[in-house]
Structure 1
Amino acid sequence: MFIQKKYIINPHFMYMAGQFDRNAKLCTIVTELNRTFIVDKSPLEILNDSIRCIGFDLRGAMETAKFLLGNKYMCPIMVNPIHKICVFPDKSSIHNDVKWFNPVHIARTFSSNQQAMIEFTNGLIITVPMKLYSFNHKLQTADQFRKMMLSIEQDPFSFEKDPRKGA
């Protein structure tokens, strides 16, 4: 499999997952619409590099998501508002094998053997070891967050924080 030294998330990005190489270094398997390859960086390094390309950082993106969505666990992250790329994790980002998904390329989800099956727009189907309901909830939150960020971009003064949430 082809190994890249660096990678910036682009509109073809479908999902990525951490995986250790033979030297026990955390790398990332990235799947785009028409190719899969390994990047010699961790998923969080790829996220940070991708967000830095537009002048922000991963920590700020995570804080913005928590501010807008409430103090939710495992918030989605806006990677690139210019290309409308938002990603969400299937589990906490502290896990090395976390998968990060781009909701734009998820065509449908269904259940098989008590696990979530994800079908992408290019026909690829993968299994995620979690309940379908949990995965769909994360997917819906990410999609709502993406739409929220895009509406704030269109008219930043139209956004008001809910006073019941304490801000």
Structure 2
Amino acid sequence: MESNFIIKWETVICVPNYDALGKPCSIIVENGRLIEVDMKPSDLINENLLYYGSSLQGATEGASRILGNTYSNPIAISEKQNIYWLPSKSPASDDCVWFALHHIVRLRAFGKAQTEVQLTGGHKIVIDSSFYTLTKREMRAYTLKGKIERRSEKPAEMVREEKSCYYISKPNGKVNYELKKQDKDS
């Protein structure tokens, strides 16, 4: 069992599991291999987000800001590497499965409240989430990806207005700064 794992482009899915002693862990599918990691999925996702410069809380808050306050938002693991993941249900749930968006090939209804997810490499998993719910989550992940890409393509241009110049100082013993208008050449 691995004690740590870095999510990469090749990482397909993260499934919750329990070891022989009943401790939560994760099963990762990557490059046709199963890798058992000694962390529950939410901790593994958080550790990877920290590795790439964020956190699960930060990524969730960022996605909520971009998509609106929706339930179980997708997250950007690494925008630079184009790695976006989505949860099958609340990330706080012990049986939440995490999917790499770019590895989802097809969703298929499987009974009333289950969905079969076909993944790259021929992998399949049936999860306890309706087709409708999982399809909505997949669409939100594509929306998040698209919005982040559009925002990253052309950064907002800074508007530089040179109408006035100010001298900003903080006098001794004062709490606030003083703003004094001055000539541009001063």
What is the TM-score when the length of structure 1 is the normalising length? 0.87
Partner of 2:144: 145
Distance 1:154 1:59 in 2: 25
Question: 1:23 is matched with which residue: 16, 21, 34?
Answer: 21
Letter matched to residue 12 of structure 1? E
Residue pairs, 1:43-82, within 5 angstroms? 43-82=41-80
Contact 1:84 1:150 in 2 (8 A): no
**Structure 1 residue 55: Cα displacement:** 2.0
Segments of structure 2 that go 5 or more residues without pairing to the other structure are: 158-186
**Structure 1 residue 33: Cα displacement:** 3.6
The DSSP-based 3-state class of the residue aligned with 1:86 is: strand
| Superimposed CA distance per residue, residues 94-146 of structure 1 (whole angstroms, 9 cap, x where no aligned partner) | 11111011110111111232321111121112111222111111111111111
Distance 2:34 2:6 in 1: 14
CA distance 1:33–1:133, shift in 2 (3 Å):
farther
**Structure 1 residue 48: Cα displacement:** 1.5
**Structure 1 residue 67: Cα displacement:** 0.6
Partner of 2:171: none
What is the TM-score when the length of structure 2 is the normalising length? 0.79
Higher relative contact order (CA 8 A, sep 6+): 1
**Structure 1 residue 36: Cα displacement:** 1.1
| Superimposed CA distance per residue, residues 143-162 of structure 1 (whole angstroms, 9 cap, x where no aligned partner) | 1111211221212328xxxx
Give the root-mean-square deviation of aligned CA atoms.
Answer: 1.5
The number of equivalent residue pairs is 156
Matched-pair identity in %: 26
Distance 1:93 1:112 in 2: 22
Contact 1:17 1:100 in 2 (8 A): yes
Partner of 2:40: 42
**Structure 1 residue 8: Cα displacement:** 1.1
Letter matched to residue 94 of structure 1? A
